[in-house]
Amino acid sequence: MSHITLIRHGQANSTAKDELSYDQLSPLGHEQAAWLGEHLRHSESHHTRLYTGTLTRHIETAEGMNTGLEPIRDARLNELEYFTLANLMEQQHKVPFPRAGEFVHHLPQVFDYWKAGKLADTPETYENFETRVQSALAEIAEGEGPALVVTSGGLISLAMAQAMGVGIPAMARLALAIMHTSMHRLFPIGGHWSPVLFNAVPHLDRPDRRLAQTHM
């Protein structure tokens, strides 16, 4: 098994209210991606493979990192459809679409309702989300050499939660913490994944980039 570094994409369109208009990097998102790529080159980090989801924010981030690796796109690495789930919460359970600052309460509730099957007509079941992420990461782990995987916050929180064997409340806390272009690493120890890095942003860890440490 090879180790896998999961990377959340750069900042997307944070004013959006739907999946499509959200799915593009902001000017800061492009900068964050370039800074991460620069950091990886300067630290001479060794990766032999680059994977991304098929969402525009994933593809743009991987391009902006300029790693020199040919990206492999895999839709199993796409994010859960949070806007769609939030709209279903509103329609079916009268839980209003969250404003800034309200995600802290909204996100755990969405994950909980979705997993418990209390939301109808979802784009995929929670179980399907779990299965596709597990299968994509297992396949990547079978390949040669350390891999970079550019994906999204919800997916990273799931991968970390699965590795730790924790449930929805802890997974939601992980998801809420994950910053744009942060790195998270799963390392195989004794046939299981151990999280050895979480939410690392060395490329943003300087005074003039503190405002670039974004979540939304």
Ligand X SMILES: O=C(O)[C@@H](CO)OP(=O)(O)O
- The answer to whether 148 contacts ligand X (rule: CB under 6 A) is no
- The answer to whether 76 contacts ligand X (rule: CB under 6 A) is no
The residue range among 59-67, 92-100, 136-144, 146-154 that interacts with ligand X, by the rule CB under 6 A, is 146-154
Q: Which one among 3, 4, 7, 8 touches ligand X, defined by CB under 6 A? A: 8
Q: Which one among 148, 154, 185, 186 touches ligand X, defined by CB under 6 A? A: 154
What the block records as the tokens of 138 is 């297992």
Question: Closest separation between CB of residue 207 and ligand X, Å?
Answer: 26
Taking the least distance from each CB to ligand X, the nearer of 2 and 173 is 173
- The answer to whether 133 contacts ligand X (rule: CB under 6 A) is no
Whether residue 56 contacts residue 128, with contact meaning beta carbons closer than 8 Å, is answered with no
DSSP string across 103-172? HHHHHHHHHHHHHTT-SSS-SS-HHHHHHHHHHHHHHHHHSSS-EEEEE-HHHHHHHHHHHHT--HHHHH
Own/partner contacts of 131-134, CB < 8 Å, gap of 24 or more, are 132/76, 133/76, 133/77, 133/158, 133/159, 133/162, 134/162
The residue range among 112-120, 147-155, 162-170, 205-213 that interacts with ligand X, by the rule CB under 6 A, is 147-155
Distance CA 57, CA 75 (A): 13
- The answer to whether 60 contacts ligand X (rule: CB under 6 A) is no
Question: Closest separation between CB of residue 191 and ligand X, Å?
Answer: 29
Question: Closest separation between CB of residue 50 and ligand X, Å?
Answer: 18
Q: β-strand 192-200 against 183-189: which pairing, if any?
A: antiparallel
The residue range among 79-87, 111-119, 138-146, 205-213 that interacts with ligand X, by the rule CB under 6 A, is 79-87
- The answer to whether 181 contacts ligand X (rule: CB under 6 A) is no
What the block records as the tokens of 147 is 């891999």
Binding site for ligand X (CB under 6 A): 8, 12, 79-80, 82, 152-154
